[in-house]
Amino acid sequence: MTVETLHFQAEVAKLLDIVVHALYSQKDVFLRELISNASDACDRLRYAAITEPALTEGDAEFKVRLIPDETAKLLTIADNGIGMSRDDLVENLGTIARSGTARFAEALAAQAAKADGEKTLSLIGQFGVGFYAAFMVAGRVDVITRKAGEAQGWKWSSDGKGDFTVEPYDEAPRGTRIVLHLKDDALDYLKPETLTRVVKTYSDHIDLPVVLVEGEESRTLNAAAALWTRPKAEITPEQYKEFYHHVGHAFDDPWLTVHMHAEGAIEYTGLVFVPSDRPFDLFDPDRRQRLKLYVRRVFITDDCEGLVPSYLRFLKGIVDTPDLPLNVSREMLQDNPLVRKIGRGLVGRVLAEIGKASEDATRYAEFWETFGAVLKEGIYEDFERRATILDLCRFRSSLRDGWISLADYVAAMPEGQEAIYFLTGDSVAALKANPQIEGFTAKGVEVLLLTDTIDEFWTTMAPPYKEHRFASVAMAGGDLAKIKAKDDAPEAEPKPEDENPTAEADIHALALAMKAVFGDEVSAVKSSERLTASPVCLVSGDAGVSLHMERLLKAHNRTGAHADRVLEINPKHPVIKALAQHAEGDAFADAAWLLLDQARIVEGEPVADAAAFSRRLTSVMEKGLL
């Protein structure tokens, strides 16, 4: 038998041309495709040998070898898989046999004619172009192969221009060797470091070894184990951890490992980790998730928008599905319904597992302190799961140490309390000292102390938790009158009667006089229910953003939003009572300004005029001391 020359099927010739040009910028993928084919071939022989062990000819140690030859400018990708017969060669590498592919080739040609590179790429992505990618880097490709169970080997050869040849080849070992005659601009692929990088990037978890052969030596470039495909029972915590280190480029231990497999309408496996340590880029503005998407154990991308939402961007790990085409492109992954469905399943499971882990409060605190601020973004962003996420949230409280859940909060509510009260600010310590919560504390009403930036956002639109709405104590909330003090609360103690209460009319007049002194510095001065120990406090009015929010925006150079400032005065406080007696003159104005500045300091705001503040304070001290 001699050399036969055959023509590529017309569609193949066209496809070849388009692939080589459209994928030009992504040359690396040729290696992924060829390794993937080699892996498939090994998988197929592995499977066939189950019923016919003789097929392996005693060599069942499947591997892919990469053999660079600098002098001849050849790169060989060799496998000991199932190999191809002559007819296989002609059919698989000369025609597009798969149904639907011919139509694809037509669509592709039409698209390419419009010279729309992006769309062409995305079309290519929807179908495997696999083997032909070899012609991106090679001017000639030889395929030397012998099928398992057959004696005769074959050599296929082509320059990818329209013809290919097939001839018998006697020395062929079982399996397939793809010999690439590299183009001059692709000689980089002879370098061990290039091959290592490409294999590490794309084929690391191909579950058979990808071995680089350098002269007498050879070394395995990939981890050679698709860990996630193994049964959970066979995987040790140590192995999970190693895989996490590898896939997450991490050094810490995973705080949580979720290994799941879903079957049914969609099939996928997820092996996902919650880290212990906060990744350095957690608060990067792009907020991108980093899970790696695999299709049949072949790495596709780690930038798959829509797989998991931003508020779970701390997750590391992989998702592997056989339901997407191997050559799926990024364009195609955008807004992909299958990806979204997989994501939804995965997110549900991960949140459920985090929920289970929350039963161990000490352990859960580690997670919450690291990632709570990010997870809370979900209350704002994930309508569907807001309630689930609220259940996972933990808070600092004005009445207890440690972290509490909303369930804990609600269980401790006194009679008459309907809302869940919170106060936002810069630190728990400052919030605890904030006079705004005095009245709540006096009645035994707990206030959630919120210090994350995101708290300003979700609290404005969180759904009620078990019918309890969220209410900011800073927004001049006057609910206190309706709430009955708890038995053990300070206010429940009998208090000595106020011998000399100030008339409501006098307090009202005082408020007006103070407002007149302040002018536009505050929007109102009001008598307060909430204060017990302090004479005054500064709160946000019902309209507009909170004081804390305004400060946050300012810190980010966003000055548009203005908080409405209301100064509340405590009618039972001796200073206020005294002031109500002579609400006029310079001494009164000084005292009023001092009170406002005090309220500002406690709220964490600067005093408006430090020199005036200091002068007034000195004058008051003189009167008191001298």
**Complex with ligand ADP: residue 82 or 247, whichever CB lies closer:** 82
| 176 binding partner (options Mg ion, ligand ADP, none; Cβ < 5 to 8 Å by kind) | ligand ADP
228: its two tokens: 């996630």
| 64 binding partner (options Mg ion, ligand ADP, none; Cβ < 5 to 8 Å by kind) | none
Rounded distance between C-alpha atoms, residue 236 and residue 397, angstroms: 40
Decide if 276 contacts 301 (C-beta within 8 A). no
Return the range that interacts with Mg ion (CB under 5 A); candidates 123-131, 340-348, 367-375, 405-413: 123-131
| 541 binding partner (options Mg ion, ligand ADP, none; Cβ < 5 to 8 Å by kind) | none
Binding mask 26-45 for ligand ADP (x = CB under 6 A): -------x---xx--x----
Decide if 230 contacts 84 (C-beta within 8 A). no
Rounded distance between C-alpha atoms, residue 125 and residue 131, angstroms: 14
Query: Residue 95: CB partners within 8 Å, gap ≥ 6?
Result: 8, 9, 12
User: 3-state class of 250 per DSSP?
Assistant: coil
Residue 133: CB minimum distance to Mg ion, A: 9
Rounded distance between C-alpha atoms, residue 546 and residue 565, angstroms: 9
Rounded distance between C-alpha atoms, residue 268 and residue 260, angstroms: 8
Residue 22: CB minimum distance to Mg ion, A: 17
| 479 binding partner (options ligand ADP, Mg ion, none; Cβ < 5 to 8 Å by kind) | none
**Complex with ligand ADP: residue 29 or 41, whichever CB lies closer:** 41
Strands (E), 383-482: 396-397, 420-424, 448-450, 470-472
Rounded distance between C-alpha atoms, residue 474 and residue 449, angstroms: 11
| 511 binding partner (options Mg ion, ligand ADP, none; Cβ < 5 to 8 Å by kind) | none
Residue 142: CB minimum distance to Mg ion, A: 18
**Complex with ligand ADP: residue 83 or 209, whichever CB lies closer:** 83
CA 23 → CA 28, 77, 106, 126, 188, distances in Å?
9, 20, 18, 14, 17
Q: Is 269 in the site for Mg ion (CB under 5 A)?
A: no
| 603 binding partner (options ligand ADP, Mg ion, none; Cβ < 5 to 8 Å by kind) | none
Residue 114: CB minimum distance to ligand ADP, A: 25
**Complex with Mg ion: residue 22 or 347, whichever CB lies closer:** 22
Binding mask 168-187 for ligand ADP (x = CB under 6 A): --------x-----------
Cβ-based neighbour number of residue 226 at 10 Å: 22
Q: Is 37 in the site for Mg ion (CB under 5 A)?
A: yes
Return the range that interacts with Mg ion (CB under 5 A); candidates 86-94, 129-137, 236-244, 313-321: 129-137
User: Under the phi-then-psi rule, with left for phi > 0, alpha for psi from -120 to 50, and beta for the rest, what region is 141?
Assistant: beta
Rounded distance between C-alpha atoms, residue 332 and residue 583, angstroms: 72
Number of residues lying near Mg ion (CB under 5 A): 2
Residues 69-108 that bind ligand ADP (CB under 6 A): 79, 81-84, 92-93
Which residues sit opposite 167 in a β-bridge? 155
Decide if 348 contacts 317 (C-beta within 8 A). no
Alpha helices in 263-385 (DSSP H): 330-333, 337-357, 361-375, 377-381
Residue nearest to Mg ion (CB): 130
Q: Note the residue count of the chain.
A: 626
CA 103 → CA 7, 109, 159, 398, 414, distances in Å?
20, 10, 25, 67, 70
Alpha helices in 23-116 (DSSP H): 29-51, 86-94, 101-113
**Complex with ligand ADP: residue 40 or 331, whichever CB lies closer:** 40
Decide if 320 contacts 228 (C-beta within 8 A). yes
**Complex with ligand ADP: residue 125 or 130, whichever CB lies closer:** 130
Number of residues lying near ligand ADP (CB under 6 A): 15
Binding mask 130-169 for ligand ADP (x = CB under 6 A): xx--------------------------------------
**Complex with ligand ADP: residue 298 or 375, whichever CB lies closer:** 298
Residue 156: CB minimum distance to ligand ADP, A: 10
Q: Is 444 in the site for Mg ion (CB under 5 A)?
A: no
Residue 78: CB minimum distance to Mg ion, A: 16
| 41 binding partner (options Mg ion, ligand ADP, none; Cβ < 5 to 8 Å by kind) | ligand ADP
Residue 301: CB minimum distance to ligand ADP, A: 18
Residue 310: CB minimum distance to Mg ion, A: 34
Give the CB-side neighbour count of residue 303, counting CA atoms within 13 A: 4
Of 581, 575, 580, 577, nearest to 598 by C-alpha is 575
Rounded distance between C-alpha atoms, residue 290 and residue 319, angstroms: 11
Residue 176: CB minimum distance to ligand ADP, A: 4
**Complex with Mg ion: residue 43 or 381, whichever CB lies closer:** 43
Residue 193: CB minimum distance to ligand ADP, A: 25
CA 343 → CA 257, 269, 288, distances in Å?
17, 11, 14
Residue 446 carries which side chain, given as an amino acid letter? E
**Complex with ligand ADP: residue 29 or 445, whichever CB lies closer:** 29
Residue 36: CB minimum distance to Mg ion, A: 5
**Complex with ligand ADP: residue 79 or 207, whichever CB lies closer:** 79
Q: Which of 83, 130, 175, 477 forms a contact with Mg ion (CB under 5 A)? A: 130
User: 3-state class of 133 per DSSP?
Assistant: helix
Burial of 512 (0-12, 13-18, 19+ CB in 10 A): exposed
Return the range that interacts with ligand ADP (CB under 6 A); candidates 2-10, 123-131, 184-192, 222-230: 123-131
Residues 397-436 that bind Mg ion (CB under 5 A): none
| 221 binding partner (options Mg ion, ligand ADP, none; Cβ < 5 to 8 Å by kind) | none
Footprint on this chain of ligand ADP (rule: CB under 6 A): 33, 37-38, 41, 79, 81-84, 92-93, 128, 130-131, 176
Residues interacting with Mg ion, by CB under 5 A?
A: 37, 130
